[in-house]
Chains A and B, each alone.
Chain A
Amino acid sequence: MSKVDEELTRRLRGAQRPVDVDELFEALERRRSHRERVRRVQTGALAFAVLASTIAGFVVLRSAFEVDEDTNVGDGFPLPANGEIVFSAGSPDGYVHLYAMQPDGAGRRRITDFGSDDTTPEVSPDGRTIAFVHQLEDATPAIATIPIGGGVVTWLTDGELFVTDGPSWSPDGTRIAFAAHDGESQRIFATNADGSDPRAITGDDVHWAEGPAWSPDGSRIAFAASPISGDEAPSVWDIYTVAPDGGDLTNVTRTSDRSHDESSPTWSPDGERIAFARQGLEESAIVLRRLSDGRETHVTEGSFVEGSPAWSPDGRWIAFDRAGVDRDPGEHPARQDLWLIHPDGTGETRLTTDGAFDPTWQPLPAGSIEPPASATPEPTASPSPGTHGRDIGLAFPVCHVENLTGIDWYGEGTVGAAWTGARVRPDGRCPEEGTGEYVVAADIDGDGVAEPGGMGYFPSCLFCRPYATSDLNADGVLELVVLEEASSTPSYSFYEVSVPTSERSPGIYNLSVAPPGAPEANLSANEPLRLVVGGDEGFSGGVTCEAYPEAPTLVYTWVFGEVDADTDLEVHTTRLQLGEDGIFHVLGSDDSLAPRSDPPTIPTDSACGVDFHPAP
């Protein structure tokens, strides 16, 4: 280490804040318990949201069009009508999700419900697709798209670009602009709507570029950026415009007053004015600027911190977020809510009271009265299987997919399927086999795609596959057995499919062990049942069955003896029965010792309609 490094290290380290470990640990435990509780409850919400949104989208489209027939202005050129307002809001699960509601605040619905922060949405010119910033919890944020009714997320950028701010569609819907840090600088980029051909639009003339907004005629992109590099503090942000090819960079709001920051430009539908947020030492307001002569008017009075203005497609409203109105002492950061106001400063209306930000509008082009795209698209094979994963109908592509087809879950003649696989990484590439987040998914209704519920997150799984189905509790509905065939100790885990209830969306769910479990046999209460079989390092196990099909009882036997030891062998036999409550109950567990000279036989024959055999 050089002397400079040593000096920097010495000066940076030093006295640390005191930490009350007991208090912190208790706080963490509370947060963890809350998170787990919320996650369990929320697992069931998405399917209903998707179905409801499809219906609601149709209704909103129709009603909005009917209401706004008289909004054609300008030179006889019809402006799009106002559809829903799409926005971001925090959730009790700790993530930020996308929502939509009608412009009067009614009909609020959730669009995304993933383990991610989904922010800065913008709806495509045809009103069907939302582009947004999608950040999984430990991944580089990316630009992604999702149908406005919810459904499959498509990543448009990879981990090479650290996306920092929201997308903006070109008026013809073919390109999407966004802000990202490329390792050197934060610039405005644009990519084709399918993620191909990403190009930097801004160079080194401006710094910390953010908030791109494509003009209605497609000839300019407005954005906020600092004319001063990050090395010079404090930086200031002005509103710029630039041609989509990066030429003709223009500072629109340059003033000699360096005490103001400007952000989040949005164009009027006629392209003649830009609205933006201005924050300074004395004011914080939404401001309109006429491009022809630079004349500015204040839309809001500036009593609060306001941002993210979004001009409505019909030109009559500006939606924006406002922070600090109900700020509680000590709240950090100040909560934002959505407001509406006419461009002339009248008609100010509060839309939300429980926290929301980044509003945008769904445009409804004339003649677009038709339902939005299906929320359950047909599964499509990736152009490069193995690299980008497969779309099986979940909200993300899946890699290392194994399937089991021809499953009639309810015995009604509907042919479904089951899948296992690893969730694709945020950069669009597949994780290594056996790493990443594994999912188990099922097609219950026979439409060829996985139901959204229950896929959850499962521990990494090596060579997993849906192995067999059997009615393990004699209720007429099949259960799924998943085999993990790693090394010489394969294991079986068990899943049930679920019809929609108030707590669960249709999907497939892990089957657990009822309390008190069988601790001596290492079958823990409330944990998913996982039966390890095969032989490895002195361990061998097997499964057989009794009383099938009337009252199926799994008989799990395993034997263990330390390798190269002369102690007796541990022998455990546990009987389990799957109840109608969807939990495996331990009927009894025998624990004994056996001499090494007389090891017990491990049963490996077919059982309960499943061939529980150790993998080779």
Chain B
Amino acid sequence: MRPTVGGDDRSRGGRPLNEAEIRGFLSHDYARVVNAVALASGSDPGAEDAVQEALVRAWIRSERGEHIESLPAWVTSVALNLSRSGWRRAVAERRASRRVRAPGEAAAASASTEDQVEVARAIVALPRREREVAVLRYLLGFDTKETAGVLRIGEGTVKSSLARARAHLAERLRVQDLEANDVEGR
């Protein structure tokens, strides 16, 4: 029996992530999170690298005693930050890639159907915050509170950004007809 250090788990650190948990993330969440980061950042190779880097950081931090409540949320948050950082510092690379790929092509490259390609292009055309909020909601299924936590913004900002993203996407993807019959409201 191991003597535990008292206090609640949040403030006292948690146990290290184990191999089964890492493999579980790889099996069930990895592809989804990579797709989400790719769409949010517009960079498919960069997204894969960012998610792997975030996962390694989560692993190391957990071994140092930090409690990670939700691995998918933590990895998504850090990977998005990493992708933003890369996006910021690689202006030349970004511009260069635009010479050979139209906007949305990079992210759309990971989409497998014509429908998904169209949605990916519509997502990439959104302003960055709307894009991130939309991806977290529609692709990863995060609710308003989770999205606010991952993006470190207020819940009100999440709601307003999602409303704008939703309107833009509905228009671009021609789903207004559904909206007209939407009895549940927003």
Q: Which residues of A contact B85 (CB under 8 A)?
A: 96, 117, 119, 135, 141
Q: Which residues of A contact B37 (CB under 8 A)?
A: none
A486 touches B5 (CB 8 A): yes
A3 touches B179 (CB 8 A): yes
Instruction: Check: A250 CB closer than 8 A to any chain B CB.
Output: no
A16 touches B116 (CB 8 A): no
A16 touches B35 (CB 8 A): yes
Whether A21 contacts B26 in the complex (CB less than 8 A), given A532-B5, A537-B6, comes out as yes
Chain A CB within 10 Å, residue with most, of B60, B81, B168: B81
Q: B6 contacts which of A15, A24, A358, A536 (Cβ < 8 Å)?
A: A536
A1-20 near B? 1/0 per residue, CB < 8 Å: 11111011101111111110
Chain B interface main SS type: helix
Q: A308 contacts which of B52, B92, B111 (Cβ < 8 Å)?
A: B92
A32 touches B12 (CB 8 A): no
List the B residue with the shortest CB-CB distance to A489.
Answer: B6
Instruction: Check: A595 CB closer than 8 A to any chain B CB.
Output: no
List the B residue with the shortest CB-CB distance to A283.
Answer: B99
B7 touches A5 (CB 8 A): no
Instruction: Check: A389 CB closer than 8 A to any chain B CB.
Output: no
A25-42 near B? 1/0 per residue, CB < 8 Å: 101100110011000000
- The answer for the CA separation of A32 and B90 in the assembled complex, in Å, is 25
Instruction: Check: A159 CB closer than 8 A to any chain B CB.
Output: yes
Instruction: Check: A420 CB closer than 8 A to any chain B CB.
Output: no
Which chain B residues in 102-157 approach chain A with CB under 8 Å?
Answer: 102-104, 110-113, 115-116, 118-119, 123-129, 134-135, 137-139, 141, 152-153, 157
- The answer for the CA separation of A487 and B99 in the assembled complex, in Å, is 61
Q: A4 contacts which of B30, B56, B166 (Cβ < 8 Å)?
A: B166
A119 touches B115 (CB 8 A): no
Q: A164 contacts which of B10, B88, B110 (Cβ < 8 Å)?
A: B88
Instruction: Check: A414 CB closer than 8 A to any chain B CB.
Output: no
B113 touches A119 (CB 8 A): no
- The answer for the CA separation of A559 and B58 in the assembled complex, in Å, is 34
A334-347 near B? 1/0 per residue, CB < 8 Å: 10100000000000
Instruction: Check: A155 CB closer than 8 A to any chain B CB.
Output: no
B31 touches A32 (CB 8 A): no
B182 touches A2 (CB 8 A): yes
B8-44 near A? 1/0 per residue, CB < 8 Å: 0011110000010011001100111011000000000
A426-466 near B? 1/0 per residue, CB < 8 Å: 00000010110000000000000000000001111010000
In the complex, 23 of the A-B residue pairs with CB atoms within 8 angstroms, ordered by the A residue number, are A2-B185, A5-B138, A8-B166, A13-B139, A14-B111, A25-B23, A25-B26, A32-B59, A35-B60, A135-B81, A137-B78, A159-B152, A165-B88, A230-B127, A231-B126, A279-B95, A284-B99, A308-B92, A333-B90, A333-B93, A541-B3, A560-B1, A570-B1
Q: Known contacts A308-B92, A522-B3; can you find 20 more A-B pairs with CB under 8 A?
A: A2-B186, A12-B139, A14-B111, A16-B35, A17-B35, A32-B60, A35-B56, A119-B89, A185-B127, A231-B126, A231-B168, A234-B98, A280-B99, A307-B95, A333-B90, A460-B13, A462-B12, A484-B5, A489-B5, A522-B2
Give A residues with C-beta under 8 Å from B: 1-5, 7-9, 11-19, 21, 24-25, 27-28, 31-32, 35-36, 88, 94, 96, 117, 119-120, 133, 135, 137-141, 159, 162, 164-165, 181, 183, 185-186, 210-211, 230-231, 233-235, 261, 263-264, 277, 279-281, 284, 305-308, 321, 323-324, 332-334, 336, 357-358, 432, 434-435, 457-460, 462, 484, 486-489, 491, 522, 532, 536-537, 539, 541, 558, 560, 562, 570
